[in-house]
Structure 1
Amino acid sequence: MSVSYLTALVAAREAAGAQDYPQGALYVVATPIGNLADITLRALQVLQLADLLACEDTRHSQQLLRAYGLDKRAGQWLALHQHNEAEAAQTVLQRLALGERVAYLSDAGTPAISDPGARLVAAAQAAGVRCIPLPGASSLTASLSVAGAVAPADAPQGFVFHGFLPTRAGERQSAWAQLAAEPRTTVLLEAPHRMGELVHELAALGERRVTLARELTKQFEEVATLPARDCAAWLQHSAQRSRGEFAIVLHPQAAGAGSQPSRGDEVLRLLLPELALKRAVQLAATLTGEGRNALYERALALRRESGPPG
């Protein structure tokens, strides 16, 4: 532990120590997504007080706590991840029933958004347990805050969080079709080894603006906003860009697109390489609400534009 984090522990006790931390409560604790300095003072205080730490990965969380000069006994750690969340939640409920303070941490960021934790919270709520959020770092809000994604005044406002795309081809294609038809800002997450596939898929969105946020809060952080068709070139510009986790923000659909591809066009461009023409038109009509006859004509035109297969 560095002197700076020793000072942080002291500051946590002074700033947050006098607050109420009820026993028999579940504390959902956000942790840094890369930069250790992004921990909150209240999180440090709760981690000191917690009788049990339920963690997505206990080894990772042990390293995190030791970086702040905190340590817990072996019996104060519990692995709770996507593969055992339902069963491990019962252990947490037993400890809560004894009046213990239980803190839940995912590997990085805010639990129960893209990480485990939602089932645990649901079980605790069903048992009448108080669930206390300790807000903090999140790649979702961090990427949105620097995207500059502004929806037109007459367009749907807000954003959609999609998280990680499916890995199976058919499910992924359907997910992309829905994303292309969604006019609001949309946030995705992606692992580095699948970014090559993702930027290829993004190209079908043409001029739609996209923010690629890589290694947020870390030393080699990069944030770039550019047309979707240029994302592949951006990724290929440097081998370094294929490393690290990504948050991707699809900006809202432009109002009065004019010469821009319609939502139906964007969906068809994604579906036609994978599906028969008739099925692609049916799915595009369902997703966009546009007329099948017009979509069928556009599908034929897009097939002609792409040229013969092979």
Structure 2
Amino acid sequence: MTNPATQRLSAGLYLVATPIGNARDITLRALDILAAADVLAAEDTRSLRRLAQLHGIDLSGRALLAYHEHNGAKMRPRLLAEIAAGRSVAYMSEAGTPTISDPGFDLARAARAEGLAVTTAPGASAVVAALTIAGLPTDRFFFAGFLPNAAKARRRALEEVAAIPGTLVFYESPRRLGAMLADAAAVLGGAREAAVCREITKKFEELRGGTLDELAAHYADAPAKGEIVVLVGRGTPKEAGEAEIEDMLRDALATMSVRDAADSVSGALGVKRRQVYQAAMRLSAEGDAPDPEQDA
């Protein structure tokens, strides 16, 4: 049987997901790529060396380059040149999946812009890991990354995502957690369900759930440590008024049947279909909007 590590990789950029805590949370394919790539790039080369040592990957004889937000503009052309010359470049972020709140985004985007091959070895992600354990809805979610440091800018950013109909996911630093939760409670509503996930997959992993008011009060007096993901459950949608329903129905009825318009509007506004269907029938009968079925 051929050892995958001895097989030559085709030229391209390989985005390799690495553990977010527990060093064993890495895929076999990721290890194969790290063992076979011509050039290794990492946000933190120390993390790459430790991971390679733990899994028995020989790094000797290959270029090992640091690529991070402070040297990206200078290092990016060199990595792209390596790929253009026919070599394989494996990039790993300090932890988790590259390009997610990570300088690898600019590298991947530049590679694609130059027509170079870009592929992924998927794996650990703090965003997905937190969603799986938090107990909040996962059918829809929005990842907002790190919020701004300044309080005014942070509240403005929270206002921008307040109406998103899904679970909100943020990365946060321990020293800002209390202030972030207080601002989230003020902007998003203190009764909104939330969770703080800390040190996921590590020895001191912790999950604390509650309302934003409860979590803000707790972390105001109990500073956290480690890597943190904050999740906020979807808010209660504003109840649509009769005028809003009718306005949307008029637009929908211009191109849809009564039945389809009712389905579309009730789904968009979260209103019971029967109520919307009755309004659609009335508008159609009054001639406020054409019924495509009658025009056919």
Distance across 1 between alignment mates of 2:112 and 2:237: 42
What's the counterpart of residue 148 of structure 2?
166
Deviation at 1:112, TM superposition (A): 0.4
Q: Select which of 9, 12, 16 maps to 1:25.
A: 12
What amino acid does structure 2 have at the position aligned with 1:227?
Answer: T
What's the counterpart of residue 81 of structure 1?
68
Distance across 2 between alignment mates of 1:150 and 1:58: 36
What's the counterpart of residue 210 of structure 1?
194
Deviation at 1:255, TM superposition (A): 4.9
What's the counterpart of residue 7 of structure 1?
none
What's the counterpart of residue 71 of structure 1?
58
- How many positions carry a matched residue from both structures? 237
Preserved contact between residue 212 and residue 246 of structure 1 (Cα < 8 Å): yes
Preserved contact between residue 203 and residue 230 of structure 1 (Cα < 8 Å): no
SS of equivalent residue, structure 1 residue 242: coil
What's the counterpart of residue 283 of structure 1?
none
Distance across 1 between alignment mates of 2:199 and 2:81: 38
Question: Is residue 53 from structure 1 mapped to residue 40 from structure 2 by the alignment?
Answer: yes
Q: Select which of 225, 231, 240 maps to 1:243.
A: 225
Question: Is residue 195 from structure 1 mapped to residue 177 from structure 2 by the alignment?
Answer: yes
Distance across 1 between alignment mates of 2:110 and 2:165: 35
Preserved contact between residue 62 and residue 71 of structure 1 (Cα < 8 Å): no
In structure 2, list runs of 5 or more residues that go unmatched: 240-296
Question: Is residue 137 from structure 1 mapped to residue 121 from structure 2 by the alignment?
Answer: no
What amino acid does structure 2 have at the position aligned with 1:80?
Answer: Y
TM-score, with length taken from structure 1: 0.70
1:114-138 deviation line (CA, Å, top 9, x unaligned): 1111111111112221111100000
What amino acid does structure 2 have at the position aligned with 1:144?
Answer: L
What's the counterpart of residue 219 of structure 1?
203
Preserved contact between residue 86 and residue 120 of structure 1 (Cα < 8 Å): no
Question: Percent identity, aligned pairs only?
Answer: 41
What's the counterpart of residue 253 of structure 2?
none
Paired residues for 1:1-310 under 5 Å: 17=4, 22-73=9-60, 76-150=63-137, 158-204=140-186, 205-235=189-219, 239=222, 242-255=224-237
Preserved contact between residue 211 and residue 224 of structure 1 (Cα < 8 Å): yes
Output the aligned Cα RMSD: 2.5
What amino acid does structure 1 have at the position aligned with 2:219?
Answer: L
1:180-219 deviation line (CA, Å, top 9, x unaligned): 3333211000011111212222332211000111100101
Deviation at 1:160, TM superposition (A): 1.0
Preserved contact between residue 56 and residue 79 of structure 1 (Cα < 8 Å): yes
SS of equivalent residue, structure 1 residue 37: coil
In structure 1, list runs of 5 or more residues that go unmatched: 1-9, 152-156, 258-310
